[in-house]
């Protein structure tokens, strides 16, 4: 029987699902929420908000499996020498697609104009068709590509950008520093779904925001440090960016005195675009442990050099 250390908040949420998922995968396991004998643990289920910081005593652990999609808070831990996986969960992907699609349609259709209309202004201006509204995704991984496909199905012209070259059937894809300008050129809506790495910090800066179509909209459900806050505020004030819908921030919760709260063209959502759901995440964990025990490669293995 293998021993699994659940080192993350929310065990009560996982308790109805994780044992059942492991059993369905043919895995006999004991799940513990404390590890007085670290050398007896085979797998660690982890969240970066856990108190566990020293992985060195877990000499038998075959993998540390993060329950979060982002691993920037753990990937640099020098004591973590075990293989590290990140959470790629279809429930998380579904919720991100719903969030991004909802807010893209909100801005495309100009819904705020009618929902927030204290002056009772009768404005029968119709929006353009989706096919006339170019959308660029910064990030073409699992989440970015799923969202891009959903918008493409609604006839939005979609481009993507990623750090490394990637051929995506039916979607114009750009990569590397030289590909950023053509990816952003003419974009009326930009969605950021990149990981937080030194190479992606402030990828939306004064220079890159200026590449978008005048009056473009920014939607950031990815990571707070992807955007230079001061550059975004300046672009909003100049009209280069007409609105920003932000779900993630450099400091969370967003401090009450941050200028984003008071800006009339900023929408703040409290990091709710996508979350790991215990029901679906348990299936992912069980499958990865099954693969490990069968001698197969782990899914969603983190590349320490790239940071995700």
Cβ 228 vs Cβ 205: under 8 Å? yes
> In 3-state terms, what secondary structure has residue 222?
coil
Dihedral of alpha carbons 297, 299, 304, 306, sign: positive
Dihedral of alpha carbons 13, 86, 48, 60, sign: positive
CB-facing half-sphere around the CA of 69: CA atoms within 13 A: 24
Beta strands in the chain (DSSP E): 2-7, 29-32, 43-46, 63-66, 84-85, 135-138, 158-162, 172-175, 189-192, 216-220, 241-246, 266-268
In 10 A of CB 57, how many CB atoms?
Answer: 13
Dihedral of alpha carbons 149, 152, 154, 156, sign: positive
Category of 271 on φ-ψ map: left (φ > 0), alpha (ψ -120 to 50) or beta = left
- The residues annotated with a catalytic role in the active site are 223, 271
| CA 255/CA 57 separation, integer angstroms | 37
* Angle between helix 90-109 and helix 278-293 axes, rounded to 10 deg: 140
| CA 244/CA 267 separation, integer angstroms | 6
Cβ 223 vs Cβ 251: under 8 Å? no
Which residue in the block uniquely carries the two structure tokens 């065990």? 11
């Amino acid at each position: 029987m293998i021993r699994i250390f659940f080192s993350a908040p929310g065990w009560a949420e996982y308790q109805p699902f994780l044992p059942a998922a492991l059993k369905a995968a043919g895995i006999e396991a004991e799940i513990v929420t404390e590890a007085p004998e670290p050398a007896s643990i085979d797998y660690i289920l982890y969240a970066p908000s856990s108190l566990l910081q020293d992985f060195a005593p877990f000499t038998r652990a075959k993998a540390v499996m993060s329950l979060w999609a982002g691993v920037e808070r753990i990937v640099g831990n020098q004591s973590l020498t075990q293989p590290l996986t990140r959470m790629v969960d279809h429930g998380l992907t579904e919720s991100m697609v719903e969030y991004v699609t909802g807010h893209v349609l909100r801005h495309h259709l100009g819904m705020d104009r009618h929902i927030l209309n204290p002056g009772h202004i009768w404005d029968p201006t119709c929006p353009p068709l989706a096919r006339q509204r170019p959308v660029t995704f910064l990030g073409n991984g699992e989440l970015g590509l799923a969202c891009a496909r959903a918008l493409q199905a609604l006839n939005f012209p979609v481009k993507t950008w990623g750090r490394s070259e990637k051929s995506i059937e039916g979607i114009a894809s750009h990569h590397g520093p030289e590909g950023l300008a053509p990816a952003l050129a003419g974009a009326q809506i930009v969605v950021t779904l990149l990981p937080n790495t030194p190479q992606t910090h402030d990828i939306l800066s004064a220079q890159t925001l200026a590449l978008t179509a005048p009056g473009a909209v920014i939607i950031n459900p990815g990571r707070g440090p992807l955007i230079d806050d001061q550059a975004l505020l300046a672009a909003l004030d100049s009209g280069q960016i007409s609105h920003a819908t932000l779900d993630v921030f450099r400091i969370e919760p967003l401090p009450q005195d941050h200028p984003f709260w008071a800006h009339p063209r900023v929408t703040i959502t409290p990091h709710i675009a996508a979350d790991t759901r215990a029901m679906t995440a348990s299936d992912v964990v069980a499958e990865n442990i099954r693969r490990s025990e069968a001698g197969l490669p782990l899914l969603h293995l983190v590349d320490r050099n790239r940071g995700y």
